[in-house]
Amino acid sequence: MTDPAGYPYEETHDLRSGPNLHESLLGLLPFVGLWRGTGKGGYPDIEDFDYAQEVRFSHDGRPFLAYESRTWLIDAEGRPIRPAAREVGWWRPQADDSVEVLLAHPTGFVEVYVGEIDGLKVELSTDAVVRTATAKEVSANHRLYGIVEGDLLYAVDMAATGHDLTPHLSARLKRIGG
């Protein structure tokens, strides 16, 4: 199979099309797809907020998942106010059911996570956080992802701006399409 430019193995989040899923990704198979939903956020230094989110876990036949997340702040009726956080990266499962995750943020920091795949649950903790001189001070994160009743649920605790790990984000996303 080729993509529109003629290059082989297009990336897909739909397991019914594109290249075969690499066998090392079988532990993350339930996460592959396009997910949308809403969540709640807050932190000691900011006002609580509601957001909408789209998350895409896709693959191109190689032994990693491409990951992209986009969020929008929403009002009480669920209408978008403005774009919010974005992140892109790669999830790299290992033979022992561990996983390495690399995430980059346009606000000037990059995170390297290590964690475990446990059935329909993935738990991640930062191994390293690197930031530019102008980025917000983020020193650590902890993430918990799970497939619950067919939905993708997650929670993020963040250590930033002088605070220890503190609940920051949580969301429930529904699978869209394939």
Binding residues for heme b: 136, 168
Binding residues are: 136, 168
**Residue owning tokens 């957001």:** 51
**Residue owning tokens 């009002």:** 75
Tokens found for residue 81: 């106010």
Give Cα 86 to chain centroid, integer Å: 9
Closest CA to 84 of 108, 110, 106: 106
Distance CA 33, CA 44 (A): 33
Cβ(177)–Cβ(35) below 8 Å: no
